Every structure is written in C-alpha cells, then in structure tokens.
Amino acid sequence: MSTMKKSFSHLFLPLSVMALLIIINLVKGADYFRITMVNGALYGNIPNILFGASELVILSIGMTLVTASSRGQDISIGESATITSAIFVQYVLQASEVTPLTIVVAFLLSCVGGLVLGAFNGTLVSIFKVQPMVASLILFTGGRSIAFMIDGKLSPILANDISNKIGTVIPGIPIQTPIILTVVFIVLIAVVFKTTNLRLYVETVGINPNAARLNGINPKKIIFLTFLIMGFCSAVAGFIAVNKAGRHDSVNLLKLIMMDAILAVAIGGNSLGGGKFSITGSIIGAYTIEMLNRTLLRLEIEPAMIKVFKAIFIIILMVVASPVARAYFTKVLDKVRSSNKRKESIPKDAHIPTTNIAVKKEE
Amino acid sequence: MKDISKSFPGVKALDSVDFKLRKGEIHALMGENGAGKSTLIKIITGVYEKDAGLITLQGEPIHFKTPQEAQDKGIGTVYQEIMLCSNLTVAENMFIGRSHGPVVNWKQMNEKAEQLLASLGIPASPMQELSSCSLAVQQMIAIARAVDMDCKILILDEPTSSLDEDEVHKLFELMRELKDRGVGIIFITHFLEQVYEISDRTTVLRNGKLVGEYETASLPQIELISKMLGNVLEDITKLKKHEPVVTDTSVPVFEGIGLSSVAGVRPFNFAIQKGEVNGFAGLLGSGRSESARAIFTADKVTGGEVKMKGKRVKIKTPLHAIKQGIGYLPEDRKGDGIIADLSVRDNIILTLQVLKGFFKPFSLKQAEEFADDYIEKLNIKTPTANTPIRSLSGGNQQKVILARWLLTHPEYLILDEPTRGIDVGTKVEIQKLVIQLANEGMSVTFISSEIGEMIRTCSRLIVMKDREIVGELRGTDLTENDVMNVIAKGGRNA
C-alpha cells in the first residue's frame, strides 16, 4: 500500500496540472474529447496532443536520464536532432529509389550520428568535468551550422511516399504513425529499465557519486552512458520531426525544444539537481506541455501573447511545486493526518522491533 | 585583558564550556572529531549563535549575530582550506570586500598591502597573482587579511595541514610575530608536535565538554592524548575478549607491500590473516583512515603491491578490490556511504548488484528477500525496506551499510569508524558482530577513535602517528595506556 502511495505521489503534480488543463478545455467547449475519423485515421484534440508531443516525449526521456546522472542539462538536443536528421535526409535523397530499407539504413545512420554527438557531450561532461550546460552549449551554438553544411542547401524537401507515411498515417492504421513510434520508443525504454540496472546506477551516481565509486560503480561511465542515450533520443526525435515536416529546415527544426524538455522533466516531479527520477513523470510532463500549448491556442489567445500566458502558467506551477511550497503543504497535510489518524499510528509504531542487543545468528 | 568565557547548557555540541584567551598568547584548542572545537569557533566568529552563556571581549559582553560583526570587532579567522581567489593579486585578496563605496583606490590599496606584508615579513609583492605564491605564503596572506584592521583575536583552524615542514616554520614565525604584538591566537591542529612547539596553553574538549585548560609546557604528551580520548567508561558489559582463531598463518588473506596513496600516507606494509581482527590506532589525522582507504584504493594508490592469499593481484579501483573480496565501510557515512534518497533495500543490495553486473538486475522479490533477511539479522530498525535510508537514525544507517558489505560475503572487511556518532547499544552490537564474523573466518580491520573499543575487539593493534606506522601491539591484556605510550613516544620528532 505504502509503495503504491509513494510511487504515485511524485506524479501528483503533472497529473493535477493535466486535470486542470482538461477542466479549462471542457469549460471552453464540451466537445474537447471528441474524436473524428478522417481518411481512416483518428483526429481530435487528444490525438493532436499525442501527435504533437512525440518528439518532446522522446527527448524528455533522455533529458531525465542526463539530469539524474550529471545533475545538469543538455541544451543541445534540438541541434543534435537537426544534425542527425540532416544525415537521414541526405542518405534518403541520394538514393535512386526510396525503399523501406533505404529509410531503415538512413535512420540507423542518423542514430550513429546521434551516438557520436552524445559521446561528444558525454566526454566533455564525464571526463573533462565540464558543466553539462556549458558542454552542450558548444553543439547548441554550432549545431545548426553543421546541419546546414550536411544539407548543402536550404531546406531539402523529403518528398517520398514512405516519409509521408511516417510523418502522418499509414493507410489502414487509424492512429498517426508518430504516436505509434513514440509508444514503441517508450516500450523500448521500459524494457531497458526492466532488463538492466540503469535506474539503480543512474540514481546512485546522481545522489552520491563518491559512494557510487566506493561501491564499484564508475560514475564517469554512467554519466557518459546517459549522454549516449540522450544522443539516441535526439536521433529518434529528429527522425520523427523531419518526416512530419516533410523537409529539413536546419534553422527552425525543433528550435528551442530543450526548454520544453527541461520543463517536462521539472513538471514530472524530477529534481533538476539529479538523483532519483521518474520517467513516467517526464512523459506526462511532456504531454502536459503540449496540452498547454494547444489549450492556449484553443482559448484563441493572440499568437503573439501565447508565450506570455505560457510563462505565467509556468511561474505559478513552479512556485506551487517549489520545495518551500511543498514543505508547507506537507506540514499542513501532516497536521491534518496526525489529528485524524492518531489512533491508527500507535499500533504501527509498535510493529517496529524493540531494541535487542543480541545480534542474530548468521549462517 | 581579554577573557572570553561562555557556557551553554544543552544537548547540543557544546555543554557549558568555558574558554579563556589572554592577550598575546597562542592557545591550542584540542579534541577529536565531534569534540566541539569547530562549534566553539563558529560561535566565537558569529557563524552560529550561542544558546546560552556569555562572551566577553576585553571585559565587555558581546553578542555576534553575523560573521561580519565578529570581524568588525577584531576577530579574524583563517580556515584549513585557503579561501582566497587565486586569480586575483595579493593586494586584491587582502582587501576584497573591505572597501567602502564603489570606487577602489588601487594605488592606496597596493601601498597599504605592501606595508602590511613588509611589517609581517611575508615574502610577497602586492601586485603578484596569488596563485604564483606557495601554499604557505598564501596561508600567510590569508592571515594578513585577517589581521589587517585592528585585530585582537586570530583563529587558525588547521592552518598547517597542507604545508611542509619549512612552510610550517615560516608560519610559526609569523604567529610569534603577531603574538608579540599582543594578538591572541587560537590554534587548532591535530599535529601534536606543533602544539608543543608553538602554544602557550592548551584547552582540551571532549564530546562537547570542557576537559580542562593547561599550560602546554607542563602537560606531558601522554596526558594530553588521554585527555583527548578520555577513559571511555561506557556501560558496555565486558565483551568476551576475541581469541584469534587463526588457523593457517602461513599465507595472509591480504598483504600490502609499500602501499602509499595520494592522501599522503607514507609507504607502509600490512598483512592480515584469516579470521584476524586488527585495528589501526592513532589520533585523527594520524593516517589510520588514509591507510584503510589506500588498501581499498578509495584514494588513488601511488605505489606498492598487493597480494591476496599470496597471489599478486592488481587493484586499481574499488571495483577490483570488491571483486577480490575486500569490503570497506567508509569513515564518512554521509559523504561516502549512504545513497540518501534511495530505499534501505536498494542501499543493501547495491554492491552485490554491482558485482552481479549491469545486465543482471535482481528481481524485486529477490532484492526484498536479501533486504528483509539482513534487516532481521542486524536488527535494523526501519518502518519498511522501502523507506529512504536518509530517514533512519545514524546507527541504523550504519547497519544498512554493514549489511551491504556482508551481503557480498567479503573475505576481508575494513570498518573505518563504524561506531562513530551512533548510540551505545548499536556500538556494542557492531563490536559483537565483528568478533562473530572473525570467528566465522572473516578478516576484519576495525578502526575507531575510541581506543577502548579497539582493545576489546582487536587482537593486534597497528599504531599510527603523523601518517606512518610507529608501532604494533599484540596480546590480550593491552590497556589504553599502552597504546597512548606508543603514540606519544613514536614519530620522528620524539
């Protein structure tokens, strides 16, 4: 029981924000959840959010890991994704005929690119101990120029049938492809967490790197690994983004998305100072941000003013979620609880074994 | 002239401590870790506020609320770590934060710095960048910064720990110069020889209580040591003396030859037999922890070789050491031991999990079994195995770390201060456990600042002083006096 409560408590913030946004949307119009079928695929507010947030969800998963292990953020993710997708586009464009194999090879190449970029940032952070933000500032500054050099020209068009299907829908499947890809990615990450000690190692390194080292974990390797994963996430996000757009715009592709990714991590209840983390929280956080963006659009706020409203919303959110406010809420909650549950708590304490000096026999 | 006296009743770090510093004397403040030295200093310098008591400066009662107030009254402090900006010039470092108003008169500042440096005989020029000075000179500049203004009291907290002998002497000359000017100096160090060389009086604290104030010259070293350590008269029932069950003495479980590390231990030889419990005895800073860390490669090892059961092995990282069957419970439980935000369960399985491998996670069920098993065996008091370790008491946290190592079934376990800061009951439990483990064939190194504890548990004591081994004691009828004698007599200066 207490385990359930515990694992749920950190999701309280993102879920309550989401609930609040849904209420606002329902007030605006009761048809918020309406889903329509267009050309055999489902459309509507919710599918649009799932569709729009694909890249952000994937990137915020990587960002969560980087934050947890290195206690800092990678601000070059949009640029990394732009570079990897430039590699993807170039490979596809040079092919005489675009087959599914072409796309797969191009995607794998872009993943290699992502890993190289992740290794670059990871080396700076883990070996040279550069602050993550400073280390990734290099790619943030130069990344789009590199992508432009790979492109060779402004905005090459990705006009093939397969790309179009990846970016929109595959006939016969009612759900838009980016949504499916995102789900596949999340499942993949879930499997990784299930079959490895990634969580234990990353959290240990993020909480106490000294103790990690003394217990046989190499903090450098773990931090490097999270940056590699970040690079892979960037490649996947770049792949989805460029297929969605149908062309490779080196200047604007996923521009400033790291801000939203960092925000998603924070909304997800994760400390930006590293340590314990919740991927689920970040994923919900990412969808919440997309929902917020679309809510503001739906409320017909002037496009020029949207950023202001978003900023105000985030300020309120961050104050509510700040340690100071949280400590206050916990205090209030404890008071309420202790006055309610005084009777219950007494037998609970009695369960704790009493002091027994004798040490139990060991086999 | 200058009488600071203060007392505070209470449960906290200091319990009704009086302290007197006279004009123009160098007063050593002595005590082991947790004795209350730094708390006392922090109250004098206004970092903490006292709970109760009275501080007077030249007869006037004073009450500092901030460090700035203390500074304004002429109390300067120099800490162990040099807190200066190495990329600024000497003069800038001396006057930074001192100027009134936004405009800096560079010329005047440099002139004043030059005067001060010359008057104190510090070999540095005001325009020099600080990083180009030696550590000792940097330390002196920090002192110059502190004594600038009308300084009445100077507090030196471990100023010599990073200096070599020559540099220490230069620093001492400066201290004598200041003393002749009537500055009262409080000197904290763990180098006993230095206390005798420079200080006029010594005040000893232990466990937050005043042991006494003495004329340094008339206090024999052995008495000073015993006053610092105390005759630990705990209500520990006579633990059954550990009889070493060393069955095979031909090949030691662990043998280190000429080990040295970046932490500054002089190369030492050390070996331990199967089923043996030994201890590294010595005062804080004697090298007892540093040696343990060198064995486990917690600090980078700079030389020497290691044999496990007679075979030469390469141990370069803690992981190698763990794989060779060495366990190490670190001295600094918070900084090096616990993973504060993780659950008791994760903290217990951590090392075994690392040994098993990244791609082979324990199932939750398996992990819970391990955790529950050791929570019961070691009598760890925690609401659930899922509780974050940070919410446990110190003694229970320590047991969790112990459980972590026992779970890996090491052949050789190093326990560095396993009993520090925990309640007496748990202390006894841990000592009993150590003896029991040894009886089962584990080799254990047990380090404690309470010599009585080590005498009860260890069959062999290796005595350290000033970062080298100065003696070895065996036998079942050792007393604390024997150990103190070796400490007092050992060393190069004795």
A117 or B146, which is more confident: A117
Identical fold between B26-229 and B254-489? yes
pLDDT of residue A346: 44
Nearest by CB to A6, which of B346, B386, B406? B386
pLDDT of residue B324: 94
Cα dist from B262 to B255, B291, B305, whole Å = 20, 11, 15
Cα dist from B113 to B117, B120, B180, whole Å = 6, 11, 21
Chunked mean pLDDT (size 10), chain B, 494 residues: 49 71 87 74 80 78 80 79 76 72 75 82 81 78 76 83 73 86 85 84 83 85 76 45 57 91 88 90 84 93 91 93 95 90 95 94 94 93 90 86 95 91 74 89 89 84 88 80 82 51
pLDDT of residue B264: 81
pLDDT of residue B97: 67
Distance separating alpha carbons of residues A104 and A94, to the nearest angstrom: 14
ipTM of the complex: 0.84
Q: Taking CB atoms and an 8 Å cutoff, what residues of chain B touch A355?
A: 379, 425
C-beta of residue B186 within 8 angstroms of C-beta of residue B21: yes
Distance separating alpha carbons of residues B218 and B351, to the nearest angstrom: 51
Is the pLDDT assigned to residue A347 strictly greater than 60? Answer: no
Confidence class of residue A246 from pLDDT cuts 50, 70 and 90?
very high
pLDDT of residue B424: 64
Please tell me the distance in Å from B323's CA to the nearest CA on chain A.
9
pLDDT of residue A1: 37
Find the mean pLDDT for residues A76-100: 94
**Domain layout of chain B by residue ranges:** 26-229, 254-489
Whether A218 contacts chain B with CB within 8 A: yes
A167 or B119, which is more confident: A167
Per CATH, which fold does A2-304 belong to?
Answer: ABC transporter involved in vitamin B12 uptake, BtuC (1.10.3470)
**Domain layout of chain A by residue ranges:** 2-304
Any residues with CB less than 8 A from the CB of B483 and at least 6 apart, and which?
B281, B451, B454, B455, B461, B463, B473
Please give the model's pTM, rounded to 2 decimal places.
0.74
Q: Taking CB atoms and an 8 Å cutoff, what residues of chain B touch A194?
A: 361
Residue type, A166: I
pLDDT of residue B316: 92
Find the mean pLDDT for residues A266-288: 92
CATH number of B254-489, picked from 3.40.190.10, 3.40.140.10, 3.90.79.10, 3.40.50.300: 3.40.50.300
pLDDT of residue A207: 96
Q: What's the maximum distance between 2 C-alpha atoms anywhere in chain B?
A: 77
CB contact (8 A) between residue A216 and residue B354: yes
Please tell me the distance in Å from B317's CA to the nearest CA on chain A.
8
pLDDT of residue A341: 56
Q: What mean pLDDT, rounded, does chain A reach?
A: 88
> Which one, of B357, B334, B362, B359, lies nearest residue B346 by Cα?
B362
List, in sequence order, every residue forming a beta bridge with B278; answer none if it has no partner. Answer: B445, B460
A153 or A99, which is more confident: A99
Find the mean pLDDT for residues A339-347: 53
Helix (H) or strand (E) holding A48: helix A45-52
List, in sequence order, every residue forming a beta bridge with A293; answer none if it has no partner. Answer: none
Nearest by CB to B353, which of A197, A356, A357? A197
A110 or A39, which is more confident: A110
CB contact (8 A) between residue B336 and residue A214: yes
CATH number of B26-229, picked from 3.90.950.10, 3.40.50.300, 3.30.70.330, 3.30.1330.20: 3.40.50.300
What is the DSSP secondary structure assignment for residue B101, as one 8-state letter? S
Any residues with CB less than 8 A from the CB of B406 and at least 6 apart, and which?
A362, B327, B374, B378, B413, B437
